[in-house]
Structure 1
Amino acid sequence: MAETGRLKTDPLFLGLTRPPMMFGVSYMFFALNLLANMVYMINSSNIIGMVLCICVIHAIGFLLTRHEPLFIQLYMIRGQKCMKCRNRSFHNGTNSYDAF
């Protein structure tokens, strides 16, 4: 039993549960960042702005990944499973799946 009162963690467990990473963020976040910035570059034709946006968004993703490595996948699942209904304004802001 640990005398400090803290749980012991195994580094192997953390390594097995982390998603594949590229430059400190998950592949999913990296791909979404690149796609969004490619669309920005196509619309604005500004390469310097694209590089700055990639760096800023990647830094934000890096900080979020340090807290929760699967944050982008969790938000995607939340968007798929926990969508808001169109008639939520009739039921005090809660989801109601009633046809009326």
Structure 2
Amino acid sequence: MSDKMTPVTITDKAVKEIKEIIRHKNIPAEYGLRIGIKGGVGCAGVSFLLGFDKKKETDDEFEIDGITVYLEKKHFMYLIGMQVDFYEGADARGFSFVKQEDA
């Protein structure tokens, strides 16, 4: 695991939901939570990714609230100051990425 500070934070609600997914979907122990981006070419900007994956050579590894997190080194600049949150309401349910103002 890295001694560096992770560029991403995860809210308590999101941590709880991630741990529930790990438990209910029987995610293997060698998998971690991958936080990353896709896109970024042209005007479209980037989309954020969240999923479970094995560690790659190009990853840094962190632990956030007992969850192993993998981040590709080349994605760091896009992820600095981002927070993963979980929303559950009558209209929608899911994870979101929010830029933290104080980051």
Q: What TM-score results when the alignment is normalised by the length of structure 2?
A: 0.28
The answer to which structure has the higher helix fraction is 1
Question: Which structure's CA Rg is the greater one?
Answer: 1
The answer to which structure has the higher strand fraction is 2
Of structures 1 and 2, the one with the larger relative CO (CA 8 A, separation 6+) is 2
